Amino acid sequence: MGDGRVLDPAIIKDLSNHIYEKRKATAFQIESFTKSALSRNESQTIYKIIDELSELTNSGTNSAKMGAITALGSVSVALGSIAIAYFLDKIIKPIFATFKDTDARVRYYACESLYNIAKIARGEILVYFNEVFDILSILVTDSESSVKNAADILDRLIKDIVSAKATNYVSIIYQKEPVTEITSHLVDANGVAIQVNHPQDAKKAFSLPKFIPTLLERMYVLDPYCKKFMLSWLELLDDIPTLELISFLPTFLEPLIKFLMNNAPDDVRMDTENMLNQFLVEMQGIARVRHEKRRKQRDTLRLKEKGEKPENDKDGSTEHEVDNEAETVTEKQAEKEKSTDNDKLEIGKAKANDKTKTTDKDKESTKEQHNDPNKSFDSAISNLTTVIHTSEAKPDHIEEPDDNESHVDGVEDDENDEENDEFVTGQDIYLDYPKMIEILLTFLRHSPSMKLAPVDLSGEPHDIVVTIQEISLTWLEQILNISPSGFVNLLPQCLTIIIRNIATTEQEKDFDLRNLFLGFSSALQQFLVSLKECNDESQLQGLTPELYDDFVESQLPQLIKTITDNYTATKNDFGKITCLEWLEFLYAQNPKEYMTVLSDRPFKLGDLLRSSSNDVASKSLELFAVISEDNDSMFNQQIEDLLHFFHTQYQTNKPRIELVVRKLCTCLPSQRVYSSIAGNLNTWEDLDFVNAMVSTLNTILLTSNELGDLRKRLRALDVYKMDDWQIFATLFQSWCHSATSALSLCLLTSNYELAYLIIKNISEQEVSYQLLMHLDILVQLIESPIFLKLRMQLLEPEKQPYLYKTLYGLLMILPQSSTYSTLQNRLTSVATLLSSTAATATPTPAATTPSALPQSTPSSLSIRKKRIYEMLDKFIKVQEQHEHADAVKKEKEDKDKKQKGAVPRREP
């Protein structure tokens, strides 16, 4: 070996032999050489052996590569669990390179060799965990079944090592003398030192923060085998409480949910959903622990302000609720069992005793690793963090916890302390909830533009889409309960998603998913209620008055704009109704602020009613009623806008007008509605529209159940009272645009003298066919229960002479028809009854005869007459306006016909 090489050419040749037994025997020889060099402490010789084998893995034939790989495994066996730490970097990197070889046999022997190395190195292999994990994630998708099986066995061993040593193993290279003093984050005035979970020590073999980027790179995979591999590792790492994998959940939540996509098999979907549920349960447990801790701190502070001792100081007790929550969060640690790896790769080497000088403890550990590395772990999962109490007199002294005491709850009580503080697992875990909210929102369909791009679910099957939506909504609702403050700045986006998805699910008849969105919508409303109340429990969740003020100032205007924009954009009735319910809710919660926003974005009732269904119209009117209930200016403004809407509908959609008026009278006092509409109609110049509206309003007044209160008020109207007369006058001035409507209003209010004067005026004009039709309808209404009072008054002709004159005048105007006969029969039957009664009646003394106007005086009679004739003058003027307008219209029509060359038809 004059060239300085350690391995003889014959050995190299035997390592390259295509016969496995020959290569295995040669690997045993190299193992013997290594042990001999180790016993003589010739590290350079060992380095040369490793370098020569590494060179063979790079440039040799496939047989040579397989032999060199096997020999490197034998070298690791010879070095033992202590010495291997100093040579591991040289040994393992050449093996990593062979995993990319195209020959499946090379990859298989690389798995075998790495398995043997890991079994010897144990915790030291964790220094290269990221590389090992990356290799395993590729091997599980290998096309060769033997390689996949070998990788599976290697994976089990690595998992056992991680479970045993990930939290506390420090590489031998970095080990120092153990410190006797525990460093704490905080030592308070009472001498209580709280040792919390520090970030991962950079010198520890395993670092979760360094591993997460590697994990994240591999999680965006499509292969189902790789997904199952990732899920198994997530489950393992999550089962180690002190690693606190959940603190990195916002980092890998998106790719984890995406495991459900791309035609994932049922088992992958089930495992993914179980993993998500497990994280959700942990998140809830952590939230309960933190909430209880904050509550206890608040109560303690209040007691101190009152000069009292906390309750747990008085009786020496602790918060068992907090302990129970901690036990729930860490329950899985107590249930973890040690397992034995029965599946071992066959390695062509003999086991040898470690001849390195070690302590008895090291020898025992090494022997245990050689015999069965999985039978028991060198170090168990570290205990939960405990509270270490220091004495005030001797602050440098730390009391060691009693090994016989149970620390399942992670708290050690000291009964001698004045104040007993505690640390509970979970209370120092901080999750980026706003980031998680944004991620979850991207998985909901119709997600608006945000920092994160929405996830495209268009190519996924419907059941997968529904599952992802359900998971996202469930998580969002739970986060809303845990950390509601994170939703304040995302409410507009949330509302946009809810409204659009409610519309979509309604169209697709996906009612279960629709109900989930409705539930999320209700949860957001409850959150806003809690935000406004800002009670003690709300403040424990971070809902403060300052946060509410910020919401009102910056988010409420944007929220209202978002809702109104979505109302206009959506075509689905259920989506529109959801928008209206939210507007009504926001007004009920913040009326003053809502009206301030509304002044910048005027509320248009007509816009809400236009092109909407009856259900949407009804909900729009409910919103209008709520807003205008105590706001006369808003009410009158919207009634005016409503009439403009009616103006576009009265010729084509009369039923819609009737529906709107009836619904409005249900939501608001009908007298207020009718008075406002009547007052606004007086300002309109389109007489045809006013006539049509008055006829419609009159029909509703006389037939609709919703107007029962107003009819009752009008039937009991006293013309001598100013308030009553004002109501009648307001209505009558508009009702004048329709002679039949004015007549029916007089009959309903018992203004029979004015009714008779109207009949006389009608008889003096040319009676149209349309007027006769309306009078026909009026006669039929007189026979209805609405006019029962009028029919009863026919029995007292001496008190109501104008009633008879009115009805007989009406009878004279009507042509003989069935309606004519109906009215004639009514009057004839009453006349017959009265004549027979008069023939047999005993004269009544004059003093007891009721007057036609029992409470009238000359002064009141003059006022009554004056008011009646004022109304008559108004009626005559309005009717003259209609006659003039009709004449102008007819003249224009005749002129148009002449211009077109048509001969105008003569009126008969």
Angstrom distance (rounded) from CA 746 to CA 619: 34
Segment 776-791 shows an average pLDDT of 93
* Residue matched to tokens 């994630």: 137
Q: Give pLDDT, residue 310.
A: 53
- Res 70 pLDDT > 60: yes
Cα–Cα separations (whole angstroms), residue 327 to 146, 411, 430: 43, 11, 19
- Res 368 pLDDT > 70: no
pLDDT band at 511 (very low <50, low <70, confident <90, very high): confident
- Res 416 pLDDT > 70: no
pLDDT digits (tens, 9 = 90+) for 896-907: 777 776 544 544
At what angle are helices 654-667 and 632-649 packed, to 10 degrees? Answer: 160
Q: Give pLDDT, residue 545.
A: 86
Compute the radius of gyration of the chain from its Cα atoms.
46
Angstrom distance (rounded) from CA 222 to CA 232: 16
DSSP SS3 for 387: strand
CB atoms within 10 A of CB 43: 13
Are 139 and 111 spatial neighbours (Cβ–Cβ below 8 Å)?
yes
Q: Give pLDDT, residue 180.
A: 42
Work out the widest C-alpha separation in the chain, in whole angstroms. Answer: 159
C-alpha of 2 from chain center: 77
CB atoms within 10 A of CB 631: 14
Lowest-pLDDT range of 186-200, 241-255, 816-830, 877-891:
186-200
First vs last Cα of the chain: how many Å apart?
137
CA dihedral of 351, 354, 355, 360, whole degrees rounded to 10: -140
Angstrom distance (rounded) from CA 69 to CA 58: 10
pLDDT digits (tens, 9 = 90+) for 577-590: 999 999 999 999 98
Return the HEC string of 449-468: CCCCCCCCCCCCCHHHHHHH
Q: What is the DSSP letter of 140?
A: T
Segment 339-360 shows an average pLDDT of 36
Residue 574, amino acid: F
Are 285 and 426 spatial neighbours (Cβ–Cβ below 8 Å)?
yes
Percent with pLDDT over 90 in the chain: 48
Higher pLDDT, 671 or 853: 671
- Res 415 pLDDT > 60: no
Lowest-pLDDT range of 278-292, 297-311, 375-389, 408-422:
375-389
CB atoms within 10 A of CB 811: 17
One DSSP character per residue, 247-268 reads: GGHHHHHHHHHHTT-SS--HHH
DSSP SS3 for 864: helix
DSSP SS3 for 390: strand
pLDDT digits (tens, 9 = 90+) for 123-167: 999 999 999 999 999 999 999 999 999 999 999 999 999 999 988
Architecture in CATH for domain 9-176 = Alpha Horseshoe (1.25)
Provide CB contacts within 8 A for 889, sequence distance 6+: none
Angstrom distance (rounded) from CA 610 to CA 590: 27
What's the token pair of residue 102?
């195209």
- Res 345 pLDDT > 90: no
Are 656 and 647 spatial neighbours (Cβ–Cβ below 8 Å)?
no
What's the token pair of residue 139?
């091997």
Q: Give pLDDT, residue 317.
A: 44
Element housing 498 (H / E): helix 491-507
Q: Give pLDDT, residue 325.
A: 45
pLDDT digits (tens, 9 = 90+) for 265-306: 999 999 999 999 999 999 998 888 887 887 887 778 878 877
Burial of residue 764 (CB within 10 Å: 0-12, 13-18, 19+) is exposed
Q: Give pLDDT, residue 844.
A: 42
Angstrom distance (rounded) from CA 691 to CA 807: 23
Angstrom distance (rounded) from CA 259 to CA 268: 8
Pairing mode, strands 387-389 and 192-194: antiparallel
pLDDT digits (tens, 9 = 90+) for 440-484: 999 998 877 667 788 888 888 988 999 999 999 999 999 999 888
Angstrom distance (rounded) from CA 626 to CA 874: 35
Count the helices and strands in the chain (H runs, E runs).
39, 3
pLDDT digits (tens, 9 = 90+) for 730-778: 999 999 999 999 999 999 999 999 999 999 999 888 888 889 999 999 9
Instruction: Please list the residues that pair with 390 across neighbouring strands.
Output: 398
Segment 804-824 shows an average pLDDT of 92
DSSP SS3 for 389: strand
One DSSP character per residue, 537-580 reads: HHHHTT--HHHHHHIIIIIHHHHHHHHHHHHHH---HHHHHHHH
Handedness of CA 53, 55, 57, 63 (dihedral sign): negative
Handedness of CA 465, 468, 472, 473 (dihedral sign): positive
Angstrom distance (rounded) from CA 525 to CA 487: 12
Higher pLDDT, 656 or 384: 656
Instruction: Please list the residues that pair with 723 across neighbouring strands.
Output: none
Lowest-pLDDT range of 137-146, 424-433, 710-719:
424-433
Higher pLDDT, 398 or 285: 285
Q: Give the residue from 539, 528, 609, 536 showing the smallest Cα distance to 568.
A: 609
Burial of residue 898 (CB within 10 Å: 0-12, 13-18, 19+) is exposed
Q: Give the residue from 300, 317, 322 showing the smallest Cα distance to 309.
A: 300
Q: Give pLDDT, residue 804.
A: 92
Instruction: Please list the residues that pair with 194 across neighbouring strands.
Output: 186, 387
pTM, to two decimals: 0.74
In 3-state terms the chain splits into helix, strand, coil percentages (rounded to 5) of: 70, 0, 30
Are 208 and 241 spatial neighbours (Cβ–Cβ below 8 Å)?
no
pLDDT band at 841 (very low <50, low <70, confident <90, very high): very low
One DSSP character per residue, 661-715 reads: HHHHHHHS-HHHHHHHHHHHHTT---HHHHHHHHHHHHHHHHH-GGGHHHHHHHH
Sheet holding 192-194, edge to edge: 186-187, 192-194, 387-389
Angstrom distance (rounded) from CA 237 to CA 282: 13
Lowest-pLDDT range of 284-288, 371-375, 569-573, 625-629:
371-375
Return mean pLDDT, the chain.
80
Q: Give pLDDT, residue 540.
A: 76
Percent with pLDDT over 70 in the chain: 78
CB atoms within 10 A of CB 376: 13
Burial of residue 900 (CB within 10 Å: 0-12, 13-18, 19+) is exposed
Lowest-pLDDT range of 56-60, 337-341, 785-789, 818-822:
337-341
Q: What is the DSSP letter of 530?
A: H
Segment 408-429 shows an average pLDDT of 47
Angstrom distance (rounded) from CA 186 to CA 193: 6
Lowest-pLDDT range of 90-94, 293-297, 600-604:
600-604
pLDDT band at 859 (very low <50, low <70, confident <90, very high): low
Q: Give pLDDT, residue 24.
A: 92
Q: Give pLDDT, residue 756.
A: 95
Element housing 881 (H / E): helix 858-899
- Res 333 pLDDT > 50: no
Q: Give pLDDT, residue 389.
A: 33
Count of positions (residues) in the chain: 908
Q: Give pLDDT, residue 149.
A: 95
Q: What is the DSSP letter of 406?
A: -
Return the HEC string of 821-858: HHHHHHHHHHHHHHHHHHHHCCCCCHHHCCCCCCCCCH
Lowest-pLDDT range of 8-12, 192-196, 546-550, 622-626:
192-196
| Helices within 259-317 (DSSP H only) | 266-305, 311-315
Handedness of CA 892, 897, 901, 905 (dihedral sign): negative
